[in-house]
Every structure is written in C-alpha cells, then in structure tokens.
Structure 1
C-alpha cells in the first residue's frame, strides 16, 4: 500500500503544480490580449499583454508544451489513483470524486490530502513508524 500511495501522491503533486502553472501563468499570458473571447465581441479578454509580445509568446509556449505534458501526465495520474482505489477497496463514488478533484486547480491538493489521510487511517499497520 505504501508504494501505491507514494506513486499516487507523486503524480498528484506533479499534475497539480503543472495545472496551476498552466491555468494561472500560461493561459493569462497567451490569451489576455484584449481579443474577443470565442469570437464574441461583447465578451473580450483583459488587455494585459499585446498580441505578439514576448509575454504572449511565452504564454503560448507554456500552454502548448506544458498543456500537452500535463495531459499525458494526467493520464498516468488517473491510472495511479485508480490503482490505489482498487487496492484500498474504495467505493466507486469516492474514487470518482478523487479522480475529478484532480482536474480542478488547487482542489487536487486537498483531494490528495484526503486520500492520503484515508489510506493511512484504513491501513495503520503499514504506516506505523
């Protein structure tokens, strides 16, 4: 159980950090150029960075490369979380909750904490110092 928890926690932290960087750095840098959102003029993005600026280019790089990396690593996270849930015999509802929480920035860290605490409480013999 310790190894499964370690793999889950490692992937949860990696995916969580990448998601925060992607959502709070990459997306604003690449998209906040004052252009209409989804092609609707009434809904515009903030004009924080000019189109073609170095900031916008950095944001595009972050969203394309980190976005792709995050997507692949999230698939690994799903496998690790599902594997842990089967070993711990969690209900399908709890498992789905943990998996979905991994898609929400910052909430993924709370879900990892809840899952880790539950594992340590359910299997105290394996985590005794």
Structure 2
C-alpha cells in the first residue's frame, strides 16, 4: 500500500526535522552570545523549520487519508496528527501505527515496508 509507505517516510522526515530543529537549531539560535558564530549557525539552521512545516502539512494529509481508509478512532487519529508537533513522539506513534496496520491489515503491508 503506497499510502502506508508514504506515511512511514513522512513520519520519519517530520520527526527528524522536528528533533533537529528543537534540540539543535533552536538552542544554537537563542543560547549563545548574540552575534557569535554559534548563534549565526543557529540562525542559518532555523530555515529547517520551514522544511518541517511543509513536510508536516504533507504528513497531516497522508495521515488523515490513512486514518479514513483504515477507520482509526478519532483519538488515535488526533494523537497521530499532533505527534508531528511534539519532538520525538512521532517515532513512537509511527511504531504504533506500524504494529496496528500489520495486525489489522496485513494485506496492506508490502515487503518493502518492513
């Protein structure tokens, strides 16, 4: 199922970007002395927030489509959607989705989605 594979890739990309921006770019931008090379590096790396935003929008659409197709509960769907905004939560949720899809819809899992 292409949608499931797309979800997994987007979850990883959104999660990696959010973690990097939250734990590297943000501290480098605001913690070092104003004008220092580290602070300037943080300013430069902050452009990745835009990349996270675009990837997150795609993640929301794909997650919503997957949730509708697989008839997830509203709570599970909202938690998945919010996971792209809370650092590291998305990796846990992707694992939960992977387990849920494999258990409930094994026919949708392609060998390449391992």
> Shared fold by TM > 0.5?
yes
Q: Aligned residues, how many? A: 111
Gaps of 5+ in 1: 33-48
Residue 23 (1) aligns with residue 22 (2): yes
The residue aligned with 1:58 is 41
Three-state SS of the structure 2 residue aligned to 1:51 is coil
- Decide which moves more: 87-96 or 119-128: 119-128
Q: Which structure's residues are more often helix, by fraction?
A: 2
Q: Is the CA contact (8 Å cut-off) linking 2:11 and 2:94 kept in structure 1?
A: yes
Q: 1:81/1:128 Cα in 2 relative to 1: closer, same or farther (>3 Å)?
A: closer
Runs of 4+ in 1 over 6 A off after TM superposition: none
Residue 109 (1) aligns with residue 108 (2): no
The residue aligned with 2:65 is 83
Gaps of 5+ in 2: none
Q: Is the CA contact (8 Å cut-off) linking 2:18 and 2:84 kept in structure 1?
A: no
Paired with 1:117 and 1:27, the residues of 2 have a C-alpha distance of 33
Q: Is the CA contact (8 Å cut-off) linking 2:17 and 2:52 kept in structure 1?
A: yes
Q: Is the CA contact (8 Å cut-off) linking 1:4 and 1:80 kept in structure 2?
A: yes
Q: Which structure's residues are more often strand, by fraction?
A: 1
Three-state SS of the structure 1 residue aligned to 2:85 is coil
TM-score between both structures, scaled by the size of structure 2 = 0.91
The residue aligned with 2:109 is 127
Paired with 1:72 and 1:125, the residues of 2 have a C-alpha distance of 30
